[in-house]
Structure 1
Amino acid sequence: MVRWFFILLLIGEVAQAQQTTRLTGNWEFIKQDAGGIWELVRPVGKGNPESVSLWQTVQLPHCVNADDAVDPDVNYYQGPAWYRTQLDIENPYSNGRTLLFFEGAGQKTDVYVYMTKVGSHTGGYDEFVVDITDAVEAFRKLPVAQSRFKGKIPIAVRTDNSRDLEMIPSDLSDFNLYGGIYRYLNLVYQPPVAIDKLFAKAEVDKTGKIGTVQVSARFFSPPPPEGAGITIKLFDPTGKVVHQKDLPPPSGGGPGRGPGDVKLTGFTLKTPQLWSPQTPALYTVEATVTTAEGKYVQTEKIGFRHFEFVDHGPFLLNGRRLLLRGTHRHEDHAGVAAAMTEDLMRREMIMMKEMGVNFIRLGHYQQSRIILNLCDSLGILVWEEIPWCRGGLGGPVYQAMAKRMLTNMIEQHYNHPSVIIWGMGNENDWPGDFPEFDKEKIRSFMKELHDLSHRLDNTRKTAIRRCDFCKDIVDVYSPSIWAGWYRGVYTEYKKVSEEEFKKVDHFLHVEWGGDSHARRHAENPDKALQVVKTGNGADERAGDASLYGGAARVSKDGDWSESYLCNLVDWHLKEQETMPWLTGTAQWPFKDFSTPVRPDNPVPYMNQKGVVERDLTKKEAYYVFQSYWTTQPMAHIYGHTWPVRWGAEGEEKMIKVYSNCAEAELFVNGKSYGVKKRNSQDFPAAGLRWNVPLNNGMQQVKVIARTGKTVITDSIQFQYQTEKWSQPAKIVLEKTGEQNGIATLQVTLLDEKGVPCPDAASWIRFGLAGDGKLIDNQGTSTGSRLVQAYNGRAIIRVQTNKGRSVISAKSEGMKTVFKEL
């Protein structure tokens, strides 16, 4: 683990004002619409049936679909929902403004102070501000302000994620369009004179010797009055002031970076510390506006870096080739869906960095400012995109929304040095939302977005993924290449990539990999490749994501084992080391995420292509990436979640170790099987594999890996089963542990003779009656009440609530079993 991870401080941008408070507690929520705003604020006496409340107390951030997004028995809710609270509001600034600053809410939002609608926003992913100053003052003059609300200000927020064809993203997209206030909501007190947005354009020449900074601002009305002053300071990464300039108040607008923006100052800096994934050096621009009423301070983090996509060549950062080693992120997590806390986000991003990631595509929408701050601090380059995803092209309202979201994304994340690409769309060759699918109209609108992006920010590239008829419009293009999953076999990856590379000036391959059902392993994972045709492309086509019909493909005919995914990843990474022209790639995605279009997957409604589960539990593939991409010594024996292997007595079985160490020695039951040298081109496991004869019974496996004087060890144990089995016929349900009031239950599938079936993939459904509660609807292999077995077993957990419960387990064709807790 990199030592500086532990001293990382997430220093957020000062948002809009000097006094900002996150509104996390004391909220009520109802998952339905109201008859009107009066229904939310009207007085109801005790004992009246109308006082029976359907409201529940929640914390923000909160997602309407925290549970039902992965409920195996229902479609996720798409419709209106309400939040309400009462706030103590005391703005300390004379003539100041009081604002509600939303970091994101989905997908349409209306905001009320008492019965007055004070603002609306359409779009689930960009930030927006609602000024409640006048409405608060008007409410305070009403008799009910004191008589009923005791001076508190009633706030209500309606969110709505109903289906709407004239909105982006499309409901055809392979992810949920969540509802709720699922990012932080802030109460902001703003002085009379304040900066709306501070833009700091940091650039450095190819030599890295001369840095320039252009600072412009957009002020809230009114602009700074006569006698006001502005001071601009630049602090280096150690906190030392390296530039300071006092400015007179600006008069009027322009010339800034856009209409209405005011250029404040520009200056040069000799030999700035350069930002890179290895050394993410961050400078701080501080703007102080001084008036007779006091000071307003806003800061922004910036970084100096020079990047280039070489024509028909690699990616350069600060004059040197950098292979982009990437992944993807959806805003989704077990138990909370989109409502991830800052701590959860930080944990997720640090796990990516520890895996060796230096690049991320944020799919498929603008994400939280917290994520961008973490990318800046950790040194992760970013492709961020608007949610024009699938379905075709809508009308004027649709197109205006896309342009507005692109503008907001660029303006709100303009200063982040991590961002190198603005994404214009994803899979825009996918029709279905409209009767017309006109490629020329899509091309024309794509060109409008490309031009708008460059007008707003000429320092970054534009890009799209998978829309061949638009690939000549944007600066960087990623075709669809899914070698070994949707089409072809993974050994075709390099050849197909070279062919696609030649078709565009700047090639970057994002989205590759495959699904794996966590805890499922295979003795012969590549068996499905025998039936898959080669030489016919490796893209994804209509219907390929289905588990039924069509040509033979691993996504349909494979075993969805972690064993197969590790081989696929291993091959891709070894090949990438021999492709000097390659800019880079991004595996899809880092974490399993929920989706409405995959109800039949082993965990229903889950896209299971992640290298970690939806709760951040690592799968085996995580360590394959780590063995290629990291320098901190590591070693991992494959199979930590594989308790039973099988085969004939004395049969040789491959034991693989994923490690970045120079050599490793394997021990099985205390016996050494020799030292192997690591060679990244020796597939699989870079040569760190041993064929070991196994006999029936428990096996103890240990590896000792070495790099120089550094020694790393890892160990596992598993049962080796030689007894043959037939079809599953019986279910055994047992409690395997309990801790902190959480009991763990496991199903094991046996044949009619009572022999375990270690390759069984039967569907298991858990149920519970009594005082406890199933910990389900998590979207994980151990957190779903309906799940495919992994190697003849399945796990569920129960919150006992210190009471009595009966848990059931059933599977088609077998007798349902019960267990009392």
Structure 2
Amino acid sequence: MFKSIFVFFISLIFIQASSAQTQLFNQDWEFVKDVDTIINQNLFNRNSTVNWQKISIPHTANIEPIEKVKQQWQGFAFYRKFFVISASDKGKHIAIKFDGAMQEADVYINGQKIQNHKGGYLPFYVDVTKLVNYGAENVILVRLDNRDNPIIPPGKPIADLDFNYYSGIYRNVWFIKKKQLHISDAVAANRKAGGGLLVHYKNVSSSSATMTVQTEVENGGEGERTASIRTKLLDAKGKVVAFNRIPLALDIREKDFETFTQVIEIQNPQLWSPTHPYLYTLRVEVLEKGKVVDMEEIKTGIRSLKIEAGSLTLNDEKITIRGTNRHQEYPYVGNALSDNAQYRDAYKIKQAGFNFVRSSHYPHANSFLDACDELGILVMDAIPGWQFVGKEAFIENSYQDTRDMMRRDRNHPSIIMWEASLNESGMSKAYMKKTHEIVHEELPFDDTYSAGWIDDAYDVFLPARQHGKYPVYWKNYKKDKPFLIAEYGDWEYYAGNAGFNQKDYQNLKKDEKTSRQLRAFGQKRLLQQALNYQESHNDNFYNKAIGDANWLIFDYKRGYADDIESSGIMDIVRLPKFAFYFYQSQSIPEKNSKSEFNKPMVFIANYWQNIGDSTVKVYSNCKEVELFLNGKSLGKQKADSDKYSTNLAYPPFTFSIKNFEAGTLSAVAYQIDGTVIKHSVSTPKTPSKINLIVDYSGKNIKAGVNDLVFVYAEILDENGTIIPDATNAIEFEIQGDAENVAPKLVKAEAGIAAILLKAGSKPGKIKVIAKSEGLVEGQLMIKSFKSSK
């Protein structure tokens, strides 16, 4: 019997539900929390005395306030769903797959416990073939426990953790119905470099590439079966551009599996990169006696990768990482984001000018990685871990997390490194050696790279800026090893490199020095945050780092402190601070590009109020900027050349203005080709009205999938200028099939109040009304669309 362990690398997107055999299983669930945790028959009965709430997935077990008033909810939550499987499906393979449930799950089918899964960030696969009733009703019950647990990574108690893990079945659930002869699930198979589909590209150039496709097929039925594989690669228009000409056939014994390996040449491939994120569709079909019995489709990107000391090369072109860190939480719903909400977060990262994101400090959702593939954002995938190393059971679970993460995500073209490291934790040498080995066991290719925060076993070293000491930091790193500044711009200003114990140093901050600045803190402090990032980003490139990733893109909540961690360049409701525009100005404008990103830009980081500041900071990626006040030129300048700007792609422009004059301040940026772009700010007057806008960020709101969008109420003067110090209480009203997840009454911060709107089950019109005493009310009509899933 032929068992191939043929190997290759990463270059695709996740296994998507592309056939009718795999369907979303998110609707018609019931939920209850804080009830008797003893499993009894009452929980499985339709006429249960338990007060079940009807819900759909993704779901959080507790709506959390936007501000931390107490520790996030922890406890037991129960989810159940009644469903019927046709009698004609008897003999097929039936499974239910959970993309993420926080954090220990006990799964019951028809009253019988079938599985326990430990870990809230990675999928688990429940084979129910032999336990379901065919032609009759079934019930699945999931008991979740998200209490502190030292054997489940990250392991550290919430009260001491620098982020929150929330609750619920917060990612998609899938119902899988296949023939007994089928492509296996990579995580469920639990085999080194095995299971499911695995794709690797080599000899990649613009003229050709070699694609190797590994497909694992299981025979769950009785008797030996003969299977063959038919593989096609389709371009973005659906045209077949490559295929296996001679299908490979193998005999598979009963209750066994075989691995098929195919090598396919591709001519004139479109190569995937951050500036050209071209995706193909790979279609793999399993045939028995000439008929298709199973099929998987995945998105795939063709690219080469090489990381060495001082250099990252993609498709034979050197790229400098200009990145950020991200936590996956939203206000109110915690981690329970819709797929579209995940995409909108990725969209904002791209919009900010970044080409890289670190999944801090755990694996993020499949749909977020899909968005990075589609938008062209490089990714470092990370296992769960932060300032904690547990005992033997914790270590074993962490090893399994490393394998499961790689098996789930190995086919994403966006992923370039695997952070198989417990962040800022005192890992043993044995642990580091083992996780590094796991990375290379799961993807044993030349272009696979492990990464870790301790400079030991890993291929890439991940120091944070604060892990070094002022003023040298990492300028004198001597080893011949690639390294990436994985965090910078926050802690070195917050605590002056005082150490990693945030709890002990949380009172060291000085209000006007720290990078932790809310939008409400005003112009001066927002400019200080932007300058901190500018200074540290500039200083990072006095060394041989392959790039850096700032801390971080979005504000978030964490367990160890009572306030919002506000070093994000966008706040927790995804509104930009001045630092957002600094980073956006560092992106190289793409010539004649149809892309909505990496455009010429200019932004005045000033509210133009008489607050005694004689300077105006302008961010732009253009050659020159001219400033106008009420139509009169204040002069044209080239970019700054100070000590904070020596290594920047596009330094800011700093203008000195002698006298304040109310009115309109305009910046005109001149590009090399002579074209101009403009940005203006005006002196705010008396608050007059409310204007409503919705944040689509590349995706319309979809009905029936718990989609979430932020709606913002801007407090404007009569000329349409936002009042930057307005704190009015805004009352929101929703009409139509949608709900406001936020409170009905929201206080504005820096002139804007935000709610989180969740679309209902039916597509249609949604009306949002915002009122506040003394202001003309705002109205907005939003249309929700039918989901394609």
TM-score bucket of the superposed structures, by smaller chain: 0.7 to 0.9
Structure 2 CA distance for aligned equivalents of residues 73 and 402 of structure 1? 32
Q: Does 1:157 align with 2:108?
A: no
Write the distance in 2 (CA, Å) between the matches of 1:369 and 1:798.
Answer: 22
Residues in 2 aligned to 1:745 and 1:702: alpha-carbon distance in whole angstroms: 21
Verify: 1:690 aligned to 2:690, yes or no.
Answer: no
- After TM superposition, list the pairs within 5 Å mapping 1:237-636 onto structure 2: 237-238=236-237, 239-251=239-251, 262-269=259-266, 272-291=269-288, 294-311=292-309, 313-395=310-392, 397-429=393-425, 442-459=428-445, 460-467=447-454, 471-482=455-466, 488=470, 492=471, 495-499=472-476, 501-503=477-479, 505-514=481-490, 538=497, 540-543=499-502, 546-548=505-507, 554-555=513-514, 561-575=525-539, 579=542, 581-599=544-562, 601=563, 606-631=564-589, 632-636=599-603
Correspondence for 1:718: 683
1:174 partner SS? coil
Contact 2:668 2:679 in 1 (8 A): yes
CA deviations 1:475-507 (Å, max 9, x no partner) are 111122149xx975xxx4xx42212x3246121
- The Cα of 1:625 is off from its aligned counterpart by 0.6
1:497-528 CA distances to partner (integer Å, 9 max, x unpaired)?
Answer: 212x324612111111238xxxxxxxxxxxx9
Does 2:644 correspond to 1:658? Answer: no
Within-5 A mapping of 1:682-761:
683=644, 686-695=651-660, 698-707=662-671, 708-718=673-683, 737=690
Judge which range, 556-565 or 452-461, deviates more. Answer: 556-565
2:165 is the counterpart of 1:177: yes
1:812 corresponds to: none
Letter in structure 2 aligned against 1:113 = I
Equivalent position SS for 2:617: strand
1:109-124 equivalences in 2 (<5 Å): 109-124=105-120
Residues in 2 aligned to 1:252 and 1:228: alpha-carbon distance in whole angstroms: 7
Kindly indicate whether the alpha-carbon contact (under 8 Å) linking 1:634 and 1:659 is maintained by their aligned counterparts in 2.
Answer: yes
Q: How does 1:97-136 map to 2 (within 5 A)?
A: 97-136=93-132
Deviation at 1:637, TM superposition (A): 0.9
Residue 116 of structure 1 and its aligned partner are, at CA, apart by 2.2
What secondary structure sits across from 2:651 in the alignment?
helix
Distance 1:28 1:415, change over 3 A: same
Superposition CA RMSD, Å: 4.3
* 1:247 Cα offset (Å): 2.7
Given the superposition, is the C-alpha separation of residues 413 and 92 from structure 1 closer, same or farther in structure 2, using an over 3 Å criterion?
farther
Give the partner amino acid of 1:192: Q
Determine which structure has more spread, i.e. the larger CA radius of gyration: 1
- Pairwise CA distance, 1:372: 1.9
* AA of the residue aligned to 1:699: G
CA-CA distance at 1:679 after TM superposition? 5.4
> Shift in Å at residue 78 of structure 1?
1.4
Paired residues for 1:64-75 under 5 Å? 64-68=61-65, 70-75=66-71
Deviation track 1:263-303 (CA, whole Å, cap 9, x = no partner) reads: 33224445543222122233333221122575311123333
Q: 1:574 to 1:388 in 2, by over 3 A?
A: closer
Are 2:742 and 2:756, in contact at CA under 8 Å, matched by a contact in 1? no
Letter in 2 for 1:686: P
Which structure 2 residues correspond to residues 192-271 of structure 1 after superposition, within 5 A? 192-196=180-184, 197-205=195-203, 211-222=209-220, 225-238=224-237, 239-251=239-251, 262-269=259-266
Aligned to 2:73: 77
Gaps of 5+ in 1: 1-9, 141-150, 254-258, 431-438, 516-527, 722-733, 747-757, 808-821
Count of aligned pairs between the two proteins: 689
TM-score, normalised by the number of residues in structure 1: 0.74
Identity across matched positions, percent: 24
Q: Aligned pair 1:86/2:82, yes or no?
A: yes
Cα distance in 2 for partners of 1:119, 1:798 equals 35
Letter in 1 for 2:287: T
* Superposed displacement of residue 803, structure 1: 13
Q: CA 1:73–1:544 in structure 2 vs 1: closer, same or farther (change >3 Å)?
A: closer
**Which amino acid in the other structure matches residue 718 of structure 1?**
T
**Distance (whole Å) between structure 1 residues aligned to residue 449 and residue 104 of structure 2:** 27
Q: Equivalents in 1 of 2:712, 2:546: separation in Å?
A: 48
Structure 1 residue 163 displacement after superposition: 0.8
Does the aligned pair in 1 maintain the 2:219–2:257 contact within 8 Å?
no
Equivalence for 2:629: 668
Q: Is the 8 A contact 1:364 1:387 kept in 2?
A: yes
- Indicate which of 36, 53, 58 corresponds to 2:55: 58
SS at match of 2:361: coil
Partner of 2:593: none
CA drift of 1:668 comes to 1.8
Q: Cα deviation per residue 1:322-348 (whole Å; 9 max; x = unaligned)? A: 101111222211232111111111122
Secondary structure of residue in 2 paired with 1:194: strand
Q: Is the 8 A contact 2:201 2:210 kept in 1?
A: yes
Q: Specify whether residues 767 and 394 from structure 1 end up closer, same or farther in structure 2 by C-alpha distance, changes over 3 A only.
A: farther
Shift of 1:251: 3.5
Give the residue type in structure 2 aligned to 1:562: L
The one-letter amino acid paired with 1:156 is L
Indicate how the Cα distance of structure 1 residues 694 and 37 shifts in structure 2: closer, same or farther if over 3 A, else same: farther
Give 1:480's aligned amino acid.
A
Shift of the 231–187 alpha-carbon distance from structure 1 to 2, 3 Å rule, reads same
Cα distance in structure 1, aligned partners of 2:397 and 2:690: 52
Query: 1-side partners of 2:566 and 2:416: how far apart?
Result: 28
Task: In structure 2, give the amino acid aligned to 1:350.
Answer: Y
